Amino acid sequence: MNKTARNIMKQARKRGQVVTFISEESTTRCPCWSSDFQQSDVAWHEANPDAAECNDQGFLFSPATTVEANVFIIPYAATSRTEIPVYSHFIEKLGPVKNDDHLLITPEMPANAKWLEWSDAKWHVYNPIAVPIGSSTGVWLALVRRA
């Protein structure tokens, strides 16, 4: 971790928000997966009702893991280019923004973080981007949207 990332982590501990990241990893293919058609086979699940369910991509669900962290979450409307000009190029890459979206700034991003819990709500984490500072990652940016 470089000096900038350590400084951001220190500031997040002092002034940031405490969130719980929820990571989901789906790497095991379901036996129903048809490699010929590149899709799940519903008939296989009907014939094997006791088998574990899978997601739309044909991967078995794995238990979610949680990690607590200190981060900055800013309403997207408040993130004008003049306020955080260093990140403006990366913020543009986060994707389409809706009215109530927020910007997540964190020194560390857990692997496969799909959700976070903050302010008594569950939020979806979209398009995390590693922002390089020097030769390593300085911060992570992501778009978060209330579920």
Taking only the tens place, the pLDDT of each residue in 102-140 is: 999 998 899 889 899 999 999 999 999 998 887 888 889
Taking residues 50-54, report their average pLDDT.
87
Q: How confident is the model at residue 146 (pLDDT cuts 50, 70, 90)?
A: very high
- The answer, yes or no, to whether residue 85 has pLDDT greater than 70, is no
Which structure tokens are listed for 44? 């296989």
Question: What residue ranges define each of the domains in the chain, with the CATH number in brackets?
Answer: 3-24+64-146 (2.40.10), 26-61 (no CATH)
Q: How confident is the model at residue 19 (pLDDT cuts 50, 70, 90)?
A: very high
Token pair 């369910």 is found at: 53
Has this prediction a pTM greater than 0.75? no
Q: Are the CB atoms for 125 and 142 separated by under 8 Å?
A: yes
Taking residues 35-47, report their average pLDDT.
87
- The answer, yes or no, to whether residue 20 has pLDDT greater than 80, is yes
Q: Are the CB atoms for 59 and 40 separated by under 8 Å?
A: no
Q: How confident is the model at residue 87 (pLDDT cuts 50, 70, 90)?
A: low
